[in-house]
Each structure stands twice: as structure tokens, then as C-alpha cells.
């Protein structure tokens, strides 16, 4: 069916405007506290190549935890099912930076999207790749077709300086033998991956690779259709941490959020949509972003349920 996505995005924005001042941007990463919180962008890319940008669709922002999907895709491509010996695929029901389960479950993180799991994925990539930073960037650049997408070293260093909780997680993982490389090295790679800056247009384009369930080959990394399906499943169940149920309930699409205020969501075989608004709720997810996606799937009746 042909949808008038452009008009739908405009209507959605009018409807969510009353919430524009709710919540605040992440400030536990000092560099992100400086961001103007009153920005909004959105972009929908269809698998047929149509692009629907809206407002600040071309403004780059810190993708933060959205990067964990790229890291998982790369790691799945390299390790296949063996990956799941080092990290689980169950929803955690806890905050993205929680330590609680990690202690009880002896250093095996619940899933690759909580910080502990993503730090393990970073460790695996470091072990497997000679130039992990370079390879990761090459992969993301190929997915979005933009050669100048890059890490923001200031954001990465700013997070490192205040990154006591992630350092605690990495230490606990190391104690249990779940990470193999030097802790400092793993953390810096993890913070760099989180610091990548992309626009909604670039993000939604990059995620088309995970929208079409056909085998992919990007920058020398392959995923089968079945692996892409499973990646979507992990996004659906774990992409929003202790708000994964709420996101499923309200939006009904596989998705992933980041504390930079970005959210990516996938309507399988049809479109990927990125939305960005820095003000977050108390679970670390964008308030306007979640509302926009809830209205999108309600207006279009396009959800996986």
C-alpha cells in the first residue's frame, strides 16, 4: 500500500508538541549535557528507496546505544552462534547499566544491548580484529553510505572520565573471565563505538540492511536472512532494557534507543525509521521519540502485531 508518510510525520509532530519540554537530556556523560535539548528530527526510509526526512533529519547526534546493533551484527557475522556462549539473549528487565544480574549470573550478561553485554561484544571484536576501531567505522560507513560518519573523541573521553559504572561492569566481567582483553582498552573501544555521530537520515538508511530479510554482505561482513531475523528478535525483546515491554506495547516494532535521544525502529520488509529528540524519560529513552513512533504505527497500522 502507498502511504503518505510525509504528511503522517507532519501530523505526528503536531500531536507530540505538547510533550516537547518533558524530560531532560542525558547529563551523566558531560559532553552530552551541552546539547540543545529542543531539537527534533525524523527520517523514514523504505526498502524501495523512498526517503521521508522531517525537520532536523540531517543533524548528526550521538547515537550511543544504537551502536550496539551494529556491533552485534558485526560480531554475529564473525562468530555465528558461538557468540551466545559469551552473552545471553534474554531481556533483562533492568536498567541498561545495571550490575545486579551480572553478579548473580557470574559474569554472563543477559543480552548484547545492556552495557555489560555490549562490553563483551566489544571485547570479542577486539580479539578478532586487528584494527577494531577502523573496521567498525568502515562497517557503519558502508551501511549508511557516508564516508564521513565518525567517532566523536571528545564524547568518548568525556564518558571515560565519568564512566565509573561501566568500569565497574568491565571489572566484574574480567573477574569472571568473560572479557579477555585489557579492561581500559575494551572500555575505550566501547565508548568510541557509542560516540559515533549520525543523522536520522543516515541511521534509517543504515538500518535498511536489517529491514530487508535478505542475506547481506557489507564491507566483507555477511549475515544470512535467518541471522537478520534473529537480530530483529533481540531488538524486539531487549532493545529498550526495562522499557522493552512498554515499547513493544506502544509501538510494536523491533527497535533500539540511545541516551543521545535517538531511536531506530524497523517495520520488517517495509521501512526503517529513525527519530531523535534529546529529552529522555527516567529509563533513558527519548520521550518525543517514543511518542512519535507510537503514533506512526497507530496511524499506519503498520506494526509486527
Indicate the residue among 119 and 223 with the shorter CB distance to ligand DON: 119
The residue with cell 522493552 is 244
CB of 95 to ligand DON, least distance (A): 9
In the chain, where does DSSP find H-type helix?
Answer: 5-16, 30-33, 67-79, 100-104, 115-128, 132-144, 153-162, 164-175, 183-195, 200-206, 208-211, 225-238, 244-250, 287-300
CB of 63 to ligand DON, least distance (A): 8
CB of 155 to ligand DON, least distance (A): 9
CB of 166 to ligand DON, least distance (A): 5
Indicate the residue among 41 and 163 with the shorter CB distance to ligand DON: 163
Q: How far apart are the first and last CA of the chain?
A: 17
Indicate the residue among 65 and 111 with the shorter CB distance to ligand DON: 65
CB of 165 to ligand DON, least distance (A): 7
Indicate the residue among 254 and 284 with the shorter CB distance to ligand DON: 284
- b/e sequence 108-132, b meaning 16+ C-beta within 10 Å: bbbbbbbbbbbbbbbbbbbeeeeeb
Q: How far is Cα 76 from Cα 78, in angstroms, rounded to an integer?
A: 5
Interface residue list for ligand DON (CB under 6 A): 64-65, 96-97, 115, 159, 166, 194, 257-259, 284-285
Q: Which three cell numbers stand for residue 30?
A: 558531560
Indicate the residue among 52 and 113 with the shorter CB distance to ligand DON: 113
Distances (CA, A) of 140 to 51, 69, 101, 134: 19, 10, 31, 10
Residue count (the chain): 305
CB of 188 to ligand DON, least distance (A): 12
Q: Which three cell numbers stand for residue 53?
A: 526526512
Q: Which three cell numbers stand for residue 216?
A: 547481506
Q: Which residue is nearest to ligand DON (CB)?
A: 65
Indicate the residue among 68 and 201 with the shorter CB distance to ligand DON: 68
Amino acid at each position: 500500500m502507498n502511504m503518505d508518510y510525509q504528511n503522517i510525520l507532519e501530523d505526528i509532530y503536531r500531536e507530540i508538541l505538547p510533550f516537547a519540554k518533558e524530560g531532560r537530556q542525558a547529563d551523566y556523560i558531560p559532553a552530552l549535557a551541552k546539547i540543545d535539548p529542543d531539537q527534533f528530527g525524523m527520517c523514514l526510509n523504505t526498502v524501495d528507496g523512498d526517503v521521508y526526512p522531517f525537520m532536523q533529519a540531517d543533524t548528526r547526534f550521538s547515537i550511543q546505544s544504537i551502536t550496539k546493533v551494529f556491533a552485534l551484527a558485526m560480531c554475529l557475522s564473525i562468530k555465528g552462534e558461538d557468540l551466545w556462549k559469551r552473552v545471553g539473549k534474554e531481556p533483562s528487565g533492568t536498567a541498561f547499566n545495571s550490575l545486579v544480574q551480572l553478579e548473580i549470573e557470574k559474569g554472563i550478561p543477559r543480552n548484547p544491548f545492556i552495557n555489560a553485554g555490549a562490553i563483551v561484544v566489544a571485547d570479542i571484536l577486539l580479539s578478532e580484529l586487528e584494527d577494531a576501531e577502523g573496521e567498525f567505522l568502515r562497517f557503519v560507513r558502508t551501511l549508511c553510505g557516508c564516508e564521513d560518519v565518525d567517532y566523536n573523541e571528545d564524547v568518548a573521553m568525556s564518558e571515560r572520565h565519568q564512566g565509573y559504572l561501566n568500569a565497574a561492569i568491565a571489572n566484574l566481567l574480567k573477574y569472571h573471565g568473560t572479557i579477555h582483553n585489557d579492561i581500559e582498552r575494551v572500555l575505550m573501544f566501547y565508548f568510541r563505538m557509542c560516540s559515533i555521530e549520525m543523522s536520522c537520515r543516515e541511521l534509517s538508511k543504515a538500518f535498511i540492511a536489517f529491514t530487508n530479510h535478505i542475506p547481506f554482505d557489507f564491507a566483507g561482513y555477511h549475515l544470512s536472512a535467518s541471522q537478520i531475523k534473529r537480530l530483529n528478535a533481540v531488538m524486539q525483546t531487549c532493545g529498550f532494557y526495562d522499557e522493552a515491554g512498554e515499547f513493544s506495547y506502544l509501538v510494536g516494532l523491533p527497535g533500539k534507543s540511545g541516551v543521545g535521544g535517538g531511536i531506530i525502529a524497523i517495520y520488517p520488509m517495509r521501512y526503517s525509521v529513525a527519530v531523535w529528540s534529546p529529552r529522555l524519560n527516567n529509563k533513558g529513552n527519548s520521550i518525543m521519540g517514543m511518542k512519535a513512533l507510537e503514533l506512526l504505527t497507530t496511524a499506519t497500522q503498520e506494526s509486527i502485531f
